[in-house]
């Protein structure tokens, strides 16, 4: 996930699951928060409702209530 055009359109980091601005329009792809682990958020990737993998994102990127 990125707001930078090069990051997304060129996938400069060669992300395993691709690079996106957001996932709102990805009907078969869902990101589901699972836990906070230190300074990271654990997120499950679901494709067509089935678990694919777990990724971590920096907690600082999110507002958690």
- For all residues of the chain together, what is the average pLDDT? 90
Q: What is the pTM of this model?
A: 0.76
Beta bridge partners, 40, equal 37, 58
d(CA 56, CA 27) in angstroms, rounded, equals 21
Confidence of residue 17 (pLDDT cuts 50, 70, 90): confident
How many domains are there within the chain? 1
Band (46; pLDDT cuts 50, 70, 90): very high
Length of the chain: 65
For the residues of the chain, what is the DSSP string, one character each?
Answer: --S-HHHHHS-TT--TT---S-STT-TTEEEEEEEEETTEEEEEEEETTEEEEEEEEEGGGS---
Average pLDDT over residues 31-39: 94
Range of the domain at 29: 1-64
């Amino acid at each position: 996930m990125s707001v930078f055009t090069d990051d997304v359109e060129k996938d400069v980091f060669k992300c395993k699951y691709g690079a996106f601005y957001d996932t709102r329009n990805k009907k078969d792809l869902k990101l589901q928060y699972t836990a906070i682990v230190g300074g990271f958020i654990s997120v499950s990737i679901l494709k067509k409702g089935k678990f694919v993998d777990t990724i971590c994102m920096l907690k600082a990127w999110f507002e958690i209530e």
